[in-house]
């Protein structure tokens, strides 16, 4: 009986030693998996923060629209104002919005002005981050809005578009 217990013990020790890793490959694999988990956690966390900031920016649309409606009533001679888009800019770490103004050029031609503001800037008192104007239907001459999209993409800092896409 003693012999069978000793033989069983030695046999189990032999089986255990066969399955034990004698090199560092398992430890390396565990370390690599831990790095991948950390990377995924950080990516998910960053993605959630961006999502939350974008959601907060999109929720500002009613506040901006109320301000625009008030401005349109008080200053009808300046043109018709509207929201051209709202998005979160990781580059500025702020909510940015596009103010569109439908008005007329000095010659009476319909014209559109675009101005990009940071939320919280006074509607009429602050300078826009970027801006441009274009006579609608004009095919000749210089288009002052030719660099608008490029500048907007730089501020968005990503290929993705926002809730209200300018």
pLDDT of res. 27:
81
Say if residues 101 and 115 touch (Cβ distance below 8 Å): yes
Model pLDDT for residues 2-14, shown as the tens digit of each residue: 666 656 655 565 5
The alpha-helical segments, DSSP class H, found in the chain are: 2-19, 25-58, 61-74, 148-156
**Which residue from 140, 131, 135, 145 is spatially nearest to 103, judged by alpha carbons?**
135
The helix (run of H) or strand (run of E) holding residue 79 is none
Residue-wise pLDDT tens digits, 42-85: 656 666 788 888 889 989 999 889 988 988 888 888 889 898 88
C-beta of residue 107 within 8 angstroms of C-beta of residue 87: no
The answer on pLDDT for 116 being more than 70 is yes
**Structure tokens that stand for 49 in this block:** 């923060």
Percent of the chain with pLDDT over 70: 66
Query: Per-residue pLDDT for 37 more than 80?
Result: no
Q: Please state, in angstroms and rounded to a whole number, the distance separating the CA atoms of residues 131 and 151.
A: 10
Q: Is 64 helix (H, G, I), strand (E, B) or coil?
A: helix
Q: Taking 70 as the threshold, does the pLDDT of residue 17 lie above it?
A: no
Arithmetic mean of pLDDT over the chain: 75
């Amino acid at each position: 009986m003693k012999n069978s217990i000793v033989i069983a013990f030695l046999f189990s020790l032999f089986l255990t030693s066969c399955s034990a890793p004698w090199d560092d490959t398992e430890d390396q694999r565990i370390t690599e998996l831990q790095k991948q988990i950390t990377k995924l956690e950080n990516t998910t966390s960053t993605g959630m923060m961006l999502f939350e900031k974008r959601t907060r920016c999109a929720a500002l649309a009613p506040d901006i629209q109320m301000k625009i409606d008030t401005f349109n009533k008080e200053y009808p001679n300046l043109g018709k104002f509207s929201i051209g888009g709202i998005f979160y800019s990781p580059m500025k770490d702020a909510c940015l919005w596009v103010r569109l103004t439908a008005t007329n050029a000095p010659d009476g031609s319909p014209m559109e002005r675009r101005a990009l503001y940071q939320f919280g800037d006074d509607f009429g008192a602050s300078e826009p981050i970027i801006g441009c104007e274009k006579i609608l239907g004009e095919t000749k001459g210089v288009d002052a809005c030719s660099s608008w999209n490029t500048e907007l993409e730089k501020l968005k800092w990503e290929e993705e578009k926002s809730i209200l896409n300018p």
